[in-house]
Structure 1
């Protein structure tokens, strides 16, 4: 019998999550709330928001897609639990290769970038070295969340 030694590394990383709700492909292009985006358009918008948010972080983080963020997520309205026929586009990324002591600086840079892009910050705790957190939204209902997590790599 052969024994294998597994080495697990624990790293502190920031996770950036961006979401937007859009019409499913079977819905018409115009809804009661106004024009809707296609899945491709919404995905492109989410990716642009992420790239804008992390621009200028030093050292530049490596974006590692969280695979579970690619699943379909139905939109549920705040006023009930009946699905709307719309779906969320979600992209979560680990912002890796950032030294742990620079995580608060990275969070502050993301906040600055978000606000300079004329987006709104809804909650901010970027000065905390242990738990930087941030959330925000755009005028067209895309949302961003940033949090620190510990990730175990095997």
Structure 2
């Protein structure tokens, strides 16, 4: 499976598991009720990435998946009008991890996520050395970890939907 197809599958999984919540409401809200800006979402996504990889040994090199930098429009429910909202995602291949320690790295990511007070919504295939998991924060950010066909871990963190800083092409006049 190509990297682009794999990334689309991860984003789709996050949609299914509720990782991209709040896209149908009028305003994406943080848990304290303040409006989320694109800059805040980007900073929070990057902070969550750093938190979940902390303490993995050997320390992985984060190789950014360039397609994760593109604008990602929120997809409304079927038949709904476009929302004009976007979400921020950052996806990284975790390079330099020994193939026989992927489950250990996945467990560390899971432990870091839960230790920070976030919820794990799905785990799969840890016992086979190809860990997969998803999770969410109380403020609507999502986590996805998958094992790529190259036997590298692919980590993605996604924000809730928000109004873009500049008008989105998905905004209908």
Residue 30 of structure 2 corresponds to residue 31 of structure 1: no
Q: CA deviation at 1:65?
A: 0.3
SS at match of 1:69: helix
For 1:62, the equivalent position in structure 2 comes to 61
Q: Distance in 2 between matches of 1:123 and 1:81?
A: 28
Tell me the TM-score normalized by structure 2.
0.66
2:22–2:140 contact (8 Å) kept in structure 1: no
Larger Rg: 1
If each structure's helix is expressed as a fraction of its own residues, which one has the higher value? Answer: 2
Structure 1 unaligned runs (5+)?
A: 1-14, 24-29
- For residues 66-88 of structure 1, the C-alpha deviation after alignment (integer angstroms, 9 at most, x for no partner) is 00111111112347543222101
Q: Distance in 1 between matches of 2:107 and 2:50?
A: 15
Residue 136 of structure 2 corresponds to residue 140 of structure 1: no
1:22–1:36 contact (8 Å) kept in structure 2: no
2:72–2:87 contact (8 Å) kept in structure 1: yes
Q: Distance in 1 between matches of 2:105 and 2:77?
A: 32
Q: Distance in 2 between matches of 1:71 and 1:80?
A: 25
If each structure's strand is expressed as a fraction of its own residues, which one has the higher value? Answer: 1
Closer/same/farther in 2, CA of residues 35 and 83 from structure 1, 3 Å limit: farther
For 2:124, the equivalent position in structure 1 comes to 125
1:21–1:75 contact (8 Å) kept in structure 2: no
For 1:73, the equivalent position in structure 2 comes to 72
Q: Distance in 2 between matches of 1:118 and 1:112?
A: 10
SS at match of 1:64: strand
Q: CA deviation at 1:131?
A: 2.3
SS at match of 2:82: coil
- For residues 87-138 of structure 1, the C-alpha deviation after alignment (integer angstroms, 9 at most, x for no partner) is 0101000001000000000000000000000000000126233421010000
How large is the RMSD of aligned CA atoms in angstroms?
2.9
The count of corresponding residues between Structure 1 and Structure 2 is 132
SS at match of 2:149: strand
Tell me the TM-score normalized by structure 1.
0.74
